[in-house]
Structure 1
Amino acid sequence: MISNDSIEQLKARLDILDVVGSYIELKKNGANFKAPCPFHDEKSPSFVVSPSKQIYHCFGCGAGGDSIRFVMEYEKLSYPEAIEKLAGQYNFSLRYTDNKNQQKRSPLLDRLNEYYQTLLTHNKEALSYLKDRGIFESSIEKFGIGYAPGSVQTISYIQKNMFTMNEAIEVGVAGHDNGKSFARFIERITFPIQATNGTIVGFGGRTISGHQAKYVNSPQTKLFNKSRLLYAYNFAKESIHKKQQIIITEGYLDVIMLHQTGFTNAVATLGTALTPEHLPLLRKGEPKVVMAYDGDSAGAAAALKAAKLLSTSGFSGGVVLFSGGMDPADMVKNGQIEELNNLFRRPKPFIDFVVDHIIESYDIRDPKAKHSALEEAVGYLKTLPALLQEEYRGKVAQKLGISSSVVNVNTHNLVYSNKKDVRTPQKDMWELSLIKTVLEYPELTDQILDAIDPSILQFHQREFRLAISGQTEAPELMAISVDESIISHKSYDELKAELINFLIKHYNQEYKKIQLKSDMAFEQKAFLIRSIRGKITKLQRGELVAYEG
């Protein structure tokens, strides 16, 4: 893990104008800078960067944070990945809490990839294969495509460059059997596989010399877990965020060809079906997921498994199956771009795809088969939220030609959203000024809390509670911090005068409420009235009084 001291030292070097300004164009606006928000579409700029507070906030979508948060959101990186990226940009050496350091980058993989790339430029057979598949030279460079030679040559290169065989085995480019070392990628076109931050963690290889396995991937290592990685996600993540869609294909060439023609939100699984371990990566930015698989039996089976996983996990999107032996790469090469556009725009929704596949896999002319189809379909529906179960009962019944009352999915637990109507919140500038004072002059917090309690604020209790508890990274507080129309109280005397005026109004209102109470004992009412009158008198003399609930 990265040490906290190291993170704090890096933060001290960061300037939010430099960081954000390296991604988007900022324009001066008073003490702050403004720009159209990079996290949602908008016509008039509502994204504000504050150099004095070293934070950003969007008044449109609520996004906000510091330099690290911006890089995390913009690049779709985890917290450690964003820190490491910024450290690299600022030439800052991070320290880790252990010596093992859980190394994220392998110098051996980097050097080996350079070697493979150099060999490709001299290998006519490999270059001819890539050209025949429609791969541009620019794509070869962008995706770092190379060529792995024979095992002896690779082992020799590793040793000549002062790497040990243990290192090579540890990162998955070599193996050891019967006392001999061997390279895992032999006479193959290589595709470097990168983590979300762009570091090489493994390779995929495509044979061009007739090896039994057409494609191979690196084995599981401390860097490479194919069940958590998606090929080319590091190139696609920005486009995924902007388009709010991710296209998942089956192969490297599909991805590369799709990127060549503008589908830059395409990625691929790594020789394995989609797994639950992929889901955290897919949730980033909450895009719609399009599974674009071959229409053969293997592709359909993988798509069905993925559709079940994604639908029961709450994802939106659908499935595209390619027919006639075609795949996305073939369609791009044939110039069928508009057809691809239409397919990706209107995929078959996951639930419809699963329900149709289940029912079509049975001969429902046979009553027993129809019953089995019903049982399997109902079993699937029960994995979905109750509202969706109810919605799809009719579809199952219609496909089977039966009454919907027979499709029993236990909808008595139907749950609807309990969200209240969203209304534009009212603003109270005095309360907002008080909150901004707490944020900018925390040393005045104790005096404020001696006089008032959050419960007596009418409009901004939540923001006040967040401020006094020190939760300065809350979006609501960032919005207050960068709003130049909200003025803080810069001195205690100024604050005291404002508090006195506010409390006089507050206690006068409380006085009227108690006078109107008919269900309160006379003695209690008289005591409270005397107490409130005493407070108002002191306030009118210019004295702050302690708050009592």
Structure 2
Amino acid sequence: MIDPETVDRIYAAANIVDIVGDYVTLRRKGVNYVACCPFHNEKTPSFVVSPAKGLYKCFGCGKGGNAVTFLMEHESLTYPEALKMVAKRYGIEVHEKELSEEEVRRNDDRESMFALNGWAAEYFANYLHHEAEGMNVGMSYFRRTRGLTDATIRKFGLGFCPAKGDRMSQDALAAGYKREFLLSTGLSLVSERDGALYDRFRDRVIFPVHNISGRIVAFGGRTLRTDKAVAKYQNSPESEIYSKKRELYGLYFAKKAIQQLNFAILVEGYLDVISMHQAGIENVVSSSGTSLTTEQIRLLGRFTKNITVIYDGDPAGIHASLRGIDMILKEGMNVRVVLLPEPEDPDSFARAHTSDEVQEYIRANEQDFLAFKARLLLKDAEGDPIRKAALIGDMVQSIAQIPDAIQRSVFIKECARIMDIDEQILISEVARKRLTSSGDRETDEFLRRQTVQRQRETAQHEVEYVRHVEAGSSFEALEREIVKYLLKFGHCSFDFKEGREMVPCNVAEVIFGELSDDNITFRNPVYAKIMATYRAQWEQTGPGVEVPVRLFLNHVDPEVCNTAVDILTADDNYVASELWRRKEVHVESEAEMLAVGVPKAVTLYKSKVIDSLIKELNARLADDTLSDAGLEEVLRRLDGYNRVKVQIARKLQRLIL
């Protein structure tokens, strides 16, 4: 466990804009920053980062937290792992207390795999630069055959794995790395003959694969042999730290350029990316030779909504372009396509041209997907009605993937013009395709938006909300309401009318006093932790002193942090107040609202607790095995609770009046 002093230093150093900005493109809006949420697919930004408060909140999917919980959610890290990641970024030395066996095992497994991959990358690079075999075979290939400079080779960490079948594995074992992690990372394989380890990437040039934060999660190895029986590429298998469908090769090196230029170039292989970068075109990524996946598109979508696909000019490259276009469109991205002249690929084209020439070629030859398909396929369909109909169907299929109705309409018009077909027919076909492919999802989305709109239109003031709570809200809703008053207004005061006198009250004092008198604790463990954290600080400082929100936003329990963010960023009162002001209805001040809301919320909660206790005792009365003494005790307690219930009912009546 990391000691509290170090945790405080980490939180103090963490700049949430810098950390979140590594994963999404943030745009300043007033004192905050906005972006499309990295945790769900959206077109309109609803993800807000507040540098002043040190928190983020998505008003679409509801996720929220601080810099550390963002990394936990995004990178699937534990709390200590995320803290260490932030600490490493800001050069903070981490001191840990003894962890449990489970924590040690979980932390060590992932960190051991990352550490081994880091060692292996350095090992392969050193072998390439300093060993005779690496220099004669690997370096010769990179420099002479591929035209890469030493600077480019070092930038991407390229390397070479020895041809001797088990040399890397034996060197790793000798360096203290465990067999289990050599196997789990896929760096080593097991011989069926004798169970010995041998190198997966033996006699291959090596391409390390970095994740979005720069850690090495996998490797790709290319053979230089001409033997067709040997696979040209070997890639790391899926592991605890690597999922190929979620990684884009080169994104770590390209993300800043993508953000600056607001578009990404998508190519096919490792060397396509590397050669383009060397040519000065740095907003380039690759699907690493695998089929493009939805996860990869969404990952890219965090940095830009504009993708230009460049594939080889041969038929295989063309068909690869067609397969990926519909997937990109379906994610709401804008896609353009560039075909290179045969027999060029991005690697060879970048090596044969200057940076300006490559950029000019892209600008001059990129087409939207509709023009690309039409130009590509119309020649084959010319004079053949059946093939033309098939082409139209293919174009309709692509248009139907576009989630935005306005964009669909524009492309339908353009398709009707290009193909010389009635626009209404295309509209019907697109609608039919969308209905077939999406089922009720669009209806669900429409209803969801309508519900949100109705909620906004019928928003009520805080007092009305309390009346709704009174009508039969759950324990959890009441607990949340009390916690909300505590977090937002715990230090505030209000005048409460007791008989004919006005009694000055403090919000936190009223809440803790009322609940403590009856030994009431919250059922929801997260709300209970918030109450306990607040009370501990409140008892030190006394009433009227504001308890810092950082105690909750930086809480060791991520659930406390997330809940606090939800409550602190909720803006229900603003919407309601605006509605009532437009209707020229008096909107209560904060003090007026607290004078009604706080006592009533606490009293309602106590009423709920009493009702629950009475219900439990009534259930015991039905127990035939209850002894006479037990029966007498139950009746005595019931009598006491019923008297309290009458008192609470009278108090509620006064509050209502």
Residue 187, structure 1, aligned to residue 250, structure 2: no
Letter in 2 for 1:396: C
Aligned partner of 1:289 in structure 2 is 307
Letter in 1 for 2:267: T
SS of residue matched to 2:15: helix
In structure 2, distance between residues paired with 1:160 and 1:372 = 62
Q: How many angstroms does 1:104 deviate by?
A: 5.1
In structure 2, distance between residues paired with 1:284 and 1:393 = 28
In structure 2, distance between residues paired with 1:23 and 1:269 = 26
In structure 2, distance between residues paired with 1:501 and 1:194 = 53
Contact 1:55–1:478 at 8 Å: present in 2 too? no
Q: How many angstroms does 1:307 deviate by?
A: 0.7
Q: How many angstroms does 1:147 deviate by?
A: 0.8
In structure 2, distance between residues paired with 1:241 and 1:475 = 32
Contact 1:64–1:475 at 8 Å: present in 2 too? no
Q: How many angstroms does 1:362 deviate by?
A: 4.3
Q: CA separation of 1:366/1:130 partners in 2, compared to 1, >3 Å: closer, same or farther?
A: same
Residue 140, structure 1, aligned to residue 146, structure 2: no
State the number of aligned residues.
Answer: 441
Deviations 1:414-462 (A, max 9, x none): 9999999xxxxxxxxxxxxxx99953636726869xxxxxxxxxxxxxx
Q: How many angstroms does 1:120 deviate by?
A: 0.6
Aligned partner of 2:126 in structure 1 is 118
Q: How many angstroms does 1:144 deviate by?
A: 1.4
In structure 2, distance between residues paired with 1:141 and 1:243 = 25
Q: How many angstroms does 1:154 deviate by?
A: 2.8
Aligned partner of 2:54 in structure 1 is 55
Aligned partner of 2:488 in structure 1 is 439
Q: CA separation of 1:235/1:83 partners in 2, compared to 1, >3 Å: closer, same or farther?
A: farther
Aligned partner of 1:257 in structure 2 is 275
Q: How many angstroms does 1:309 deviate by?
A: 0.6
Q: How many angstroms does 1:283 deviate by?
A: 3.0
Q: How many angstroms does 1:235 deviate by?
A: 2.7
Aligned partner of 1:463 in structure 2 is none
| More displaced 10-residue stretch of structure 1: 439-448 or 281-290 | 439-448
Q: How many angstroms does 1:145 deviate by?
A: 1.1
Q: How many angstroms does 1:148 deviate by?
A: 0.7
Deviations 1:140-179 (A, max 9, x none): 2222111111143234323433445554333212223441
Q: CA separation of 1:44/1:108 partners in 2, compared to 1, >3 Å: closer, same or farther?
A: closer
In structure 2, distance between residues paired with 1:228 and 1:361 = 37
Aligned partner of 2:218 in structure 1 is 202
In structure 1, distance between residues paired with 2:309 and 2:294 = 15
SS of residue matched to 1:382: helix
In structure 1, distance between residues paired with 2:593 and 2:202 = 82
TM-score (norm 1): 0.65
Q: How many angstroms does 1:272 deviate by?
A: 0.6
In structure 2, distance between residues paired with 1:11 and 1:316 = 45
For residue 39 of structure 1, the aligned residue among 19, 26, 46 is: 26
In structure 1, distance between residues paired with 2:276 and 2:105 = 42
Letter in 2 for 1:128: S
In structure 2, distance between residues paired with 1:21 and 1:399 = 48
SS of residue matched to 1:397: helix
Contact 2:161–2:202 at 8 Å: present in 1 too? yes
Contact 1:85–1:197 at 8 Å: present in 2 too? no
Q: How many angstroms does 1:7 deviate by?
A: 8.5
Residue 404, structure 1, aligned to residue 407, structure 2: no
Contact 1:318–1:350 at 8 Å: present in 2 too? yes
Q: CA separation of 1:304/1:376 partners in 2, compared to 1, >3 Å: closer, same or farther?
A: closer
Q: How many angstroms does 1:182 deviate by?
A: 3.1
Q: CA separation of 1:499/1:279 partners in 2, compared to 1, >3 Å: closer, same or farther?
A: same
Deviations 1:76-114 (A, max 9, x none): 856657545125454255876583456255133332222
In structure 1, distance between residues paired with 2:273 and 2:287 = 10
Identity of aligned residues (%): 24
Q: How many angstroms does 1:130 deviate by?
A: 1.8
Q: CA separation of 1:477/1:380 partners in 2, compared to 1, >3 Å: closer, same or farther?
A: closer
For residue 324 of structure 1, the aligned residue among 314, 338, 342 is: 342
In structure 1, distance between residues paired with 2:357 and 2:654 = 73
Residue ranges of structure 2 left out of the alignment (5+ in a row): 34-48, 58-62, 436-441, 454-483, 492-505, 512-552, 554-560, 572-587, 597-652
In structure 1, distance between residues paired with 2:136 and 2:307 = 38
Pairing 1:146-161 to 2, within 5 Å after superposition: 146-152=159-165, 153-161=167-175
| More displaced 10-residue stretch of structure 1: 143-152 or 164-173 | 164-173
Contact 1:17–1:49 at 8 Å: present in 2 too? no
